[in-house]
Each structure stands twice: as structure tokens, then as C-alpha cells.
């Protein structure tokens, strides 16, 4: 799908990769509807988009709130006259060691990553089925491939999203709804603490990540795991015997 002249809905657009994709897509000639909780940041983003000569509808909502999310998506559809592409990018987490985690800790991270996906995924699928098709892109994480130490709840929520999108890809193919799963590695954004990354060379700039993600959406790649170093490490890790992989991950996590 050529990303020009499209109506694009983006969640988690107030900062980070969502904010970056919004500006990149506006520069390519698309109209946007953007959502997140921080209204002031969305309004500032809208001003930047409109300065580029494109329309930007601001629909603030808490993505963990099912009703608010449904209302935000419905308003975006109404304001733009429909949606061609939905980029489901909301999410985040923090280091969580399961030896000391509470139930609330785990549920909070699950809501921030899985509920925020589902709350927009379902209305987006319904709309695109009725519209004759379109593209849904999901921002996952390489963490969703393994249960990483100090990231158990985050890894689990991203793994759930990855598998759910796999099912949707099969079930909605007859309706011409296509799915792109994006797995950006460590990226310099507000949500990243570089001290938590064992190898600094694995971190990439936000601008590079944004370009890769937009490239993958335009080409409708089913899965896009990047950068190459992360793709190699994940592929290598999947080939290892599980006991050896577990020892290596434990060593990479550092002292207990």
C-alpha cells in the first residue's frame, strides 16, 4: 500500500515512535487521527502536522479504557470519513522482577500493552471489514519472543499481542484486512533507560526506527524485526537448546 493520500489512525502518538511516525506520514501526504492520554502533546503534534499541509484530528483517550478507546476510534472515523490504516502503537513497561512482583504489577503492564492493543484492534477490524479492507500495523517487541529476565510481564504481554495478530492475519484475510507486525529493538526514546541495555551498540536512533517501521507498513511485511543485530540475536536464540538459552539470558541480565 502506497502511504500517500491515506487516512491513518495512530495510537500512542504523543511521544516516541508514534509521534515520529505521525510526522513522517504527514510529510508523505497523509491525513491523520492521533490518540494518547496527553492532550497538550497531541495538540502540539497536530500543529506540526497541519504546518505540513495535512489534516490531524486529535482524539485523546486512555487506551486501557475500552469505552473511551471505542469512542475515540469512532470519532476518528467520523472526522476523516474513514480509516485506511490503523497503527496500534500504544504500550510500554518498566523492569519487573517476578521474584518480587505483585499481582497489580503484572496486571498493570499487561493492561498497558495487551489491553491497549485489543481496545483498538477490535473496532479497527470491524471498520476495515466494512470498508472493503485496509492495513493494521502493531508495534510489538523482540521481548515478545522470549521470557526475558526482569521483563517477564512485558515479554508476556508482547508475546500475547504477537500471537493474537497472527490469528487475525489468517481470519481476516478473506476480508482483505492485512496485518503488519513491527518489532523494533532498543530505540532512543523517552521510555528507554540506556543503562538497562547490556550492549549499547544495540540501541538505534528514533528516526531510523521510524523510517524502518513506515517502510515495513508500506510494503505490508507480515513481520519486521529490526535492526539486523537484534534480528540475528533473536534468530540465533531460537535455535539454541532451551537450557543453554536460559543460561545466556540469565548471564546477560547481570547479578541477581
Diameter of the chain measured on Cα atoms: 55
Cell of 90: 500504544
Q: Which helix (H) or strand (E) element contains residue 239?
A: helix 228-239
Angle of helix 16-27 relative to helix 39-51, nearest 10 degrees? 20
Question: Around 134, how many Cα atoms within 13 Å sit in the side-chain half-sphere?
Answer: 23
Q: Of 138, 154, 183, 188, which is the active-site residue?
A: 154
Distance CA 83, CA 76 (A): 8
29 closest CA partner among 52, 58, 48: 52
Residue 154: active-site member = yes
Cell of 208: 531510523
Strand order in the sheet with 134-139: 56-58, 31-35, 7-11, 85-88, 134-139, 177-184, 223-226
| Cα distances (Å, whole numbers) of residue 158 to 81, 106, 181, 192, 215 | 31, 13, 11, 16, 22
> Which amino acids are annotated catalytic?
154
Amino acid at each position: 500500500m502506497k502511504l500517500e493520500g491515506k487516512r491513518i489512525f495512530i495510537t500512542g502518538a504523543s511521544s516516541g515512535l508514534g509521534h515520529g511516525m505521525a510526522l513522517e506520514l504527514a510529510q508523505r501526504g497523509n491525513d491523520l487521527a492521533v490518540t494518547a492520554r496527553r492532550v497538550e502533546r497531541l495538540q502540539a503534534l497536530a500543529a506540526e502536522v497541519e504546518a505540513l499541509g495535512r489534516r490531524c484530528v486529535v482524539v485523546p483517550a486512555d487506551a486501557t479504557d475500552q469505552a473511551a478507546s471505542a469512542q475515540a476510534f469512532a470519532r476518528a472515523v467520523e472526522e476523516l470519513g474513514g480509516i485506511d490504516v490503523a497503527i496500534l502503537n500504544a504500550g510500554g513497561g518498566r523492569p519487573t522482577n517476578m521474584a518480587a512482583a505483585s499481582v497489580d504489577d503484572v496486571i498493570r503492564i499487561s493492561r498497558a500493552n495487551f489491553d491497549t492493543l485489543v481496545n483498538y484492534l477490535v473496532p479497527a477490524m470491524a471498520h476495515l471489514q466494512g470498508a472493503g479492507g485496509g492495513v493494521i500495523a502493531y508495534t510489538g517487541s523482540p521481548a515478545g519472543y522470549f521470557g526475558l529476565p526482569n521483563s517477564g510481564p512485558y515479554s508476556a504481554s508482547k508475546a500475547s499481542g504477537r500471537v493474537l495478530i497472527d490469528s487475525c492475519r489468517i481470519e481476516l484475510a478473506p476480508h482483505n484486512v492485512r496485518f503488519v507486525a513491527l518489532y523494533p529493538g532498543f530505540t532512543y526514546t523517552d521510555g528507554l533507560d540506556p543503562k538497562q541495555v547490556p550492549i549499547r551498540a544495540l540501541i538505534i536512533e528514533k528516526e531510523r526506527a521510524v523510517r524502518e517501521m513506515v517502510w515495513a507498513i508500506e510494503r505490508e511485511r507480515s513481520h519486521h524485526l529490526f535492526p539486523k543485530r537484534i534480528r540475528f540475536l533473536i534468530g540465533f536464540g531460537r535455535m539454541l537448546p532451551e537450557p543453554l538459552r536460559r543460561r545466556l539470558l540469565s548471564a546477560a541480565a547481570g547479578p541477581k
